[in-house]
Amino acid sequence: MADRGGREGQQLDNYRLIRLLGQGTFGEVYLGEDIHRKTQVAVKVLHTRLTTEELHAFLNEARVFRLKHPHIVSVLDFGVERTSQTPFLVMDYAPNGTLRRRHPKGTQVPLSAVVLYVRQIAAALQYAHDENLIHRDIKPENLLIGQQGEILVSDFGIAIISPGGQTSLLGTRGVGGTPYYMAPEQWRGKPRRASDQYALGITVYEWLSGMPPFEGNIPSLALQHASTPPPSLLSRAPTILPEVEQVVLTTLAKDPKQRFGSVRAFATALEQAAQMALLDPMVPPFGVLPGQPLQPPVVNDLSGRSSQPIQVDLPLIRPLILWLVRHPMLIQRLIPSQIRHPMLALTRRLIRQLLSKPRLRIR
């Protein structure tokens, strides 16, 4: 078997490995090229070697992993390197990177963006769970950004079949997963659907607070996940409402039965709790903190007059506009004209435009 990260230039069946994109718990991901179609793909070379019996099992079971969902990275092909009996998976290539790259460690993500992310991720996980598949390794590194900005869950090719179906070839090889995000039952080698919800809950906690609830070496992490309550989210992110904190902490219950009944229920509860923030004038609009940099694209004054451009993050602006449509007069009274925060300046411009065109509709 080739050294890790040393496969550039090699060819696996019809795929030439161009460069290493990243390394994970289960394998290495390379940017590849389909030598016949001349298209770019992502090739994941797994960190395992197969016996003859396991080889037949992999070829049979890999067909199961062709999940088709708008928020799941599609597995296009699979195979086994003949000389080393190393399995590999060929997936769609998402050139826009991961949510880890968009939000590096230590970054706090606005609540509105988190809600949009969770809605898409939960839809993908719910679809997989309904097919009796468990992901086992939900984390920002495995959440990709598609061509249209949509979120794509990757690495479903290494999922395991949940109780009631077969067990995949990787299902019995250790506990799997990434220690920072693993549920207590996964540390014991007994992952279930609720384990994915737990990992997504850890991810949400990290996005909102800027850090995961538990840190340390592997033995310390195992002990913390098993028996230590997570630190208060409010202590790390004071602008988060208690209702939001309660939803996140529910997903992090040590007992899987005390979490939400499904990952879809978690996403719904988070969205409902986040909507309460819209009614609280003491909470900065949609999780935007004073001084926090806003992202492109650039939006000019809606009246058409030339003005200083304001940069806004698209996940923030749409719910903001929808809220203003419902409460234009209320928000006008709540935001004094002397406040200079760029999002509030944009808010006042939107209000003026909405009041001048009462028939304006936001789809």
* Residues noted as catalytic: 137
The sign of the torsion formed by the CA atoms of 47, 89, 188, 249 equals positive
Helix (H, G, I), strand (E, B) or coil at 46: strand
Phi, psi dihedrals of residue 11, rounded to the nearest 5°? -125, 125
Q: What is the number of residues in the chain? A: 363
129 vs 197: CA distance, rounded Å = 11
Burial class (CB in 10 A: 0-12, 13-18, 19+), 60: exposed
From its phi and psi, is residue 263 left (phi > 0), alpha (psi between -120 and 50) or beta?
alpha
Helix (H, G, I), strand (E, B) or coil at 107: coil
The Cα diameter of the chain in Å comes to 73
Contact present, 15 and 35 (Cβ < 8 Å): yes
159 vs 138: CA distance, rounded Å = 11
Taking the C-alpha atoms of 247, 214, 218 and 3 in order, what is their torsion angle to the nearest 10 degrees? 80
